[in-house]
């Protein structure tokens, strides 16, 4: 056990503290960097209820900005929200040593370059989380409701020994891991749903999936937006299967009415990952010369709202 890896989580919200718990369960030393919940976690650790059992744990070290790590971690797990004005590379820099593997568990398209450019010599592992986990009203008390699977690959492509080591670790900790040779393609597959539906639900004032699809013209609009995403994905070298849109719509139709995470962020007045989910897709479309009139309409309208809110503030 002496050489179990040391994992450090930057951005230990619901998702970050959950995957920290999984690493802890696998026997790793797990440290966290916190802002608002520093004192609470230092005192009591994280309380995490889960169908996997009680995942509560005390991190081996609890850091805050400006601290120096006791030991250089083997893996830094970055679960920071991808937002304009948040310099994730700067947040990671104090904790990353020359051999530290950087693990992104974050949403969105084209979110790796900002980190990769800052740490060109470190292994970079890109992950997508399929999980239902949320904070509660009480600080550092987390509720894991369902799922937890990670899709994981080296960025920009491939499955490295680092990936396999991390896969083994998370599997030991109790979750499923899918290794992906083309993790960017996996991001596009997830984006096919998220890029239309997340911002659409915000523009539609927090509407759920059934409301959106059952509105006359709603399903057609969702399909057209998905086709725009699909075209950008193909231009980016990651063509999606022909039936991807049909399958996504059918899958959504099978679920009960559902408010996605961005709709919930909107309804709670929290920052939204619009740039990562939508803006970066529109930017890639421009770079490749792919027409995305519906997606860019949404992106511009949401930018107008931001500008209005800034002006009103």
Please identify, using beta-carbon distances, which residue of 96 and 299 lies nearer to a copy of itself.
299
Residue 70 or residue 308: which is nearer to a copy of itself going by CB? 308
243: nearest Cα among 257, 230, 234? 230
Quick one: 86 or 203, whose CB is closer to a copy of itself? 203
Tell the smallest beta-carbon distance from residue 281 to a copy of itself (Å).
14
Residues 6+ apart with CB under 8 A from 249: 213, 219, 222, 223, 226
CB of 182 to a copy of itself, least distance (A): 30
Give the nearer residue to a copy of itself in terms of CB position, either 61 or 230: 230
- Tell me which residues touch a copy of itself (CB under 8 A): 200, 203-208, 211-212, 214-218, 220-221, 224, 293-294, 296-301, 303-309, 311
Give 51's Cβ-side CA count (13 Å radius). 8
What residues are paired with 55 via a beta bridge?
none
Task: Give the strand pairing for 61-63 and 47-49.
Answer: unpaired
The continuous run of DSSP H or E covering 170 comes out as: helix 161-173
Which of 95, 266 has the CB closer to a copy of itself? Answer: 266
Q: Least CB distance from residue 300 to a copy of itself, whole Å?
A: 4
Residue 19 C-beta: closest distance to a copy of itself, Å: 34
Helix ranges (DSSP H) in 52-110: 88-92
C-beta of 294: minimal distance to a copy of itself in Å?
5
Pick the closer one to a copy of itself by CB: 289 or 311. Answer: 311
Residue 13: CB minimum distance to a copy of itself, A: 27
* Cα pseudo-dihedral 112, 116, 119, 123, rounded to 10: 80
Contact 190, 109 (CB under 8 A): no
- 50 closest CA partner among 11, 18, 13: 18
């Amino acid at each position: 056990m002496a050489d179990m890896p040391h994992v450090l989580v930057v951005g230990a919200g619901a998702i970050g503290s959950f995957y920290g718990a999984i690493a802890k369960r696998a026997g790793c030393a797990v440290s966290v960097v916190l802002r608002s919940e520093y004192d609470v976690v230092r005192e009591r650790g994280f309380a995490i209820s889960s169908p996997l059992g009680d995942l509560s744990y005390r991190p081996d070290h609890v850091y805050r900005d400006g601290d120096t790590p006791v030991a250089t971690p083997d893996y830094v797990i970055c679960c920071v929200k991808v937002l304009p004005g948040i310099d994730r590379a700067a947040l990671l820099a104090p904790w990353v040593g020359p051999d530290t593997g950087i693990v992104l568990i974050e949403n969105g398209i084209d979110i790796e370059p900002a980190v990769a450019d800052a740490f060109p010599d470190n292994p970079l592992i890109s992950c997508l989380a399929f999980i239902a986990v949320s904070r509660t009203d009480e600080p550092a008390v987390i509720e894991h409701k369902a799922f937890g699977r990670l899709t994981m690959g080296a960025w920009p492509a491939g499955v490295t020994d680092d990936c396999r080591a991390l896969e083994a670790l998370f599997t030991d900790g109790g979750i499923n891991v899918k290794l992906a040779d083309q993790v960017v393609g996996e991001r596009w597959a997830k984006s096919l749903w998220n890029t239309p539906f997340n911002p659409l639900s915000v523009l539609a004032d927090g509407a759920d999936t059934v409301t959106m699809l059952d509105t006359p013209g709603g399903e057609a609009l969702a399909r057209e937006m998905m086709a725009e995403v699909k075209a950008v994905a193909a231009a980016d070298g990651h063509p999606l299967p022909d039936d991807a849109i049909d399958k996504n719509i059918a899958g959504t139709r099978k679920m009960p009415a559902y408010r996605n995470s961005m709709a919930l962020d909107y309804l709670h007045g929290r920052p939204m990952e619009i740039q990562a989910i939508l803006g970066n897709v529109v930017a890639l479309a421009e770079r490749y010369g792919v027409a995305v009139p519906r997606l860019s309409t949404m992106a511009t309208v949401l930018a107008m709202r931001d500008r209005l809110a800034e002006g009103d503030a």
